[in-house]
Structure 1
Amino acid sequence: MHISVIIPALNEEAHIERAILSASDADEVIVVDGGSNDATVSITEKLGAKVIISKKGRGVQQDAGAKEAKGDALLFLHADTMLPEGWKESVAQIFTDGNIVGGAFLLGINSDNPLLKFINRIANIRAKYLGLIYGDQAILVKKDKFFSIGGFRGLPIMEDVDLIRRLRRHGTVKLLKEKVLTSQRRWYKKGLISTTLKNWFYLFLYYIGVSPERIYRLYYKRP
């Protein structure tokens, strides 16, 4: 099985190299840049990954990368996240089961903060028992299935939850036992408790039918 790793990026010069290097076993690494004005693109090119320029927006960028991907399976990796050693073998193994259409890794937050470790533990319980998987867990999906359900649909937010929800209607989404390692930055940027509560609130809005476009405007305080 050939695996394409797709990394959406916007001004990620501080993290992009580690993400790309962690995916070095991939058959193809595609970085989809949303208009960076830092060294993201030059670092990517130096490392030999393919660069695609796209409109800004994680859903839009990931859809653009998928259209260019040559692999049989797509793995969507956030630019501040690193794949574990042996990830490729684990991904290839789960897709030997014809009922599995996608999957994701357990989450590992790169922090020794006790509260953040607790949040990390809750996130993995949520993923394991409730099936709530987010994009920072490195979502993977068979390419043909990805396109047959419409991909990320260019959604500005909740694109990860929306994709997993639709994937489950067509087969099994497998949670791998290995952990990705993601940056602690988004929790510290707006506060640990505040970030967690807001994430739950916006997820609740999505599940009661509020559109991702409306949630996006609320999240970024736009009219």
Structure 2
Amino acid sequence: MPAPLSIIIPALNAAADLPLCLESLMAGLEAGLIREVIVVDGGSTDATAQIAGSAGATPIESAPGRAKQLIAGAAAARGEWLLFLHADTVLSRDWPERAASHMGTRPGIAAAFTLKYRSDARAARWLEARANRRARWMGLPYGDQGLLISRQLYQEVGGFQDVALMEDVILVRALGKKRLVILDAEARTSAAKYERDGWRRRSWKNAVLLTRFLMGAKPEDLARAYR
């Protein structure tokens, strides 16, 4: 029987981060969970595709845009379960155990991982705590936390929508809080954007964008503000 899990990683000029991400998946290969790793390249000008191929992943090309890349990856995937993961996220060593337990017992429920930033800054701990509370209380994890979902459930809720921003929020809202849990394994994501822009400034900007979206703002308008 084929391994159950297809991992889908949208990437754009991710050569600096992708090796660590792919290395963290080795524990899943050793556990017999992973059928394939698909890296969806949105037009990189660096060595992203070559790194993916050299590591044994399947690189495919897509039009640029994270939503388009996620959709393309899901369409190419063959696993009964899908794990959508950002290229700058590294999973903790215990992720296969947590994922396997979830897949074996809760096929009708999706899961995300506990957020952790790869930074020693005190502000990183503050933002992690806030983000993880939001994920557990409201069913709104960050895209950085990954999304583990059965193919059947993914199709049932309509999959990712081809929008300029907030594709992850649209999908988890379609799931609803009762069909999403947070696993104890960590998604250790890059803190580069926060360290560049300032932790509080970046986090509040993201919060404003989310609030505007929940109040009805169009994703394409939010994307312009985000850039």
TM range (shorter): over 0.9
Q: Equivalent of 1:145, from 122, 145, 153?
A: 153
Offset at 1:97?
Answer: 3.3
2:27 is equivalent to residue 20 of structure 1: no
State the 1:99 CA deviation.
6.3
Is the alpha carbon distance of 1:97 and 1:172 closer, same or farther for their aligned partners in structure 2, counting shifts above 3 Å? farther
The yes-or-no answer on 1:196 pairing with 2:203 is yes
The Cα shift of 1:122 comes to: 1.2
Cα 1:68–1:99 shift into 2, 3 Å: closer
Aligned positions, number: 219
Q: Name the aligned partner's letter for residue 20 of structure 1.
A: L
Q: Give 1:98 deviation, angstroms.
A: 4.5
2:194 corresponds in structure 1 to 187
TM-score (norm 2): 0.91
Q: Distance in 2 between matches of 1:34 and 1:22?
A: 22
Q: 1:45 maps to what in 2?
A: 53
Does residue 104 of the first structure (1) align with residue 112 of the second (2)? yes
Deviating more after overlay: 121-130 vs 52-61? 121-130
Q: Which runs of 5+ in 2 are unaligned?
A: 29-33
Deviations 1:149-206 (A, max 9, x none): 221112221111111000128x521111111111111212222111011010000011
Contact 1:104 1:140 in 2 (8 A): yes
- What amino acid sits opposite 1:157 in the alignment? L
Following superposition, the deviation at residue 44 of structure 1 comes to 0.8
Write the letter of the residue equivalent to 1:12. Answer: A
Aligned-CA RMSD value: 1.5
CA deviation vs aligned residue, 1:38-80 (integer Å, no higher than 9, x gap): 0111111111100110011111101100001011111111000
Partner AA of 1:165 in structure 2: R
Q: Distance in 2 between matches of 1:140 and 1:212?
A: 24
Once residues 150 and 57 of structure 1 are traced to their aligned partners in structure 2, the CA distance between those partners, rounded to angstroms, is 18
Structure having the higher helix fraction is 2
Q: How does 1:107-126 map to 2 (within 5 A)?
A: 107-126=115-134
Report if the CA contact (8 A) 2:92-2:187 is conserved: yes
One-letter amino acid matched to 1:5 = I
Match in the other structure for 1:161:
169
Corresponding residue of 2:72: 64
The one-letter code sitting in structure 1 at the alignment partner of 2:35 is D
Partner of 1:213: 220
Question: Which one of 5, 8, 11 corresponds to residue 6 of structure 1?
Answer: 8
Identity of aligned residues (%): 38
